[in-house]
Structure formats: structure tokens, C-alpha cells
Amino acid sequence: MNIIIVDDDSLVAGALKTILEINEDVKVLATGSDGKEACELYRKYQPDILLMDIRMKNMSGLEASTIILQEFPHAKILLLTTFSDDEYIIKALRLGAKGYLLKQDYTSILPALRAVFYGQTVFGTEIVSRIPKLLQASAVFDYSAYDINERELEIIELIAKGYSNKEIASELFLSEGTVRNYLSSILDKLQLRDRTQVAVFYYQHKNTDAK
């Protein structure tokens, strides 16, 4: 698992590198100190995961994430910060970051990196509990305007509840292949990147009258 660490505190970056490289499956390719350097290092190394702070001088982690994900849509970025700021959480979700963890929850960093490496999206427990409330919206939303049918809406709702494809298949009496096909269709219709963004989209429009 090849990683780049970017943090404007060189002591933090160095400490993380030391802690993570104790594990044989982790290799830190480089460290950086701001968002601009993160972009340069990502282009050079294209790591499995970019572990990056949010608040940094010159260019923030969110700004760097936007640039990197535009150039590399499948980039896996795990944001690490001391700030549990609602606005940051929302932006991280909408950008398509693969995780948002608080630095003080340091014991979760390695498990989170491994989860992201294997395709999962990880948000700290404190953050996950706040996401639905943060993303609720009061405006009426019509899913049919996106050509989303009733079955697809059922799947969207289950994704938002955290169901896996296997669990959705069991719940709706479908095959996993059929669920994957529905998910591909949903992503295409809503112009979203992955199932995390589907959940975000759902919670943004949860307080609606029309479906």
C-alpha cells in the first residue's frame, strides 16, 4: 500500500510516516507540506492513497482534492484534520473524498487506510452520526426529473442506510449483478462518482414530498 502524506506540520507528517511504516504493508513514498505540493507529489507518484490535512497554507487540502480528483477521478484521498467542522465535512463528501478522520482519533488511521485501499469509504464515528442532519434539505425534489424509477429509488434509500450490494439484493430479492446494474444506472443518471455520493445526494434531498 503506497501512500503520500501531506501536512503543514512537518513533525506530524514525520510521526505519521514513522508510525505507518512500522507495518510491512505500508510504504510512504513522500511527504509534503501544502496542497500545491500534494498535487505535484500525486502527479509524480500516483499513490494508492493520499493522506492529507485540510487546513494548510497556500492551498488547502480541499482545494488540492478538487484539482487531483479532476485529473485523477479514481484517486483515493483520506482527509485528516483536527477540526470537526460541518462545512469541511460537507465539502469532503461532495468532492468524493474516501474518508474524513480527526487526528485525535489516531488509532483509526491505519484501519481507515486499509479500508480505503480495499475500496471502502471511511468517516469517523463522530462524523458519521452527523452526516444525515448536515445534509438534509427542505426543498421539494423530484427524482423522476432524473429518470429515476421506483426500484432505483429503493436502492438509493438502502445505499443511504449503508447496505452493501449483497444486502440490497437480499432485501429486494434481486441478484447482486442486477443490483450492480441498477447502481451503474443510478450513477449515470445522477452524474455521481460512487455510492458515497449517492448517499450524500439522498440525504441532501431527504425532506421532500415528491419522488
- What domains lie within the chain, and their CATH numbers? 2-133 (3.40.50.2300), 136-204 (1.10.10.10)
Query: pLDDT band for position 99 (50/70/90)?
Result: confident
Instruction: Name the residue with higher pLDDT: 149 or 181.
Output: 181
Mean pLDDT calculated for residue range 185-198: 91
Place of cell 478522520: 101
Kindly write down the DSSP assignment for every residue of 67-101, as one continuous string: HHHHH-TT--EEEEES---HHHHHHHHHHT-SEEE
pLDDT greater than 90 at residue 33: yes
pLDDT on residue 124: 63
pTM of the shown model: 0.61
Q: What is the pLDDT of residues 113-139, one digit of tens each?
A: 999 998 888 876 556 656 666 555 444
Which amino acid is it at 114? Answer: R
Query: pLDDT band for position 175 (50/70/90)?
Result: very high
pLDDT greater than 60 at residue 19: yes
pLDDT on residue 210: 39
Kindly report the average pLDDT of the chain as a whole number.
85
Mean pLDDT calculated for residue range 188-202: 89
Mean pLDDT calculated for residue range 61-87: 86
Mean pLDDT calculated for residue range 7-13: 91
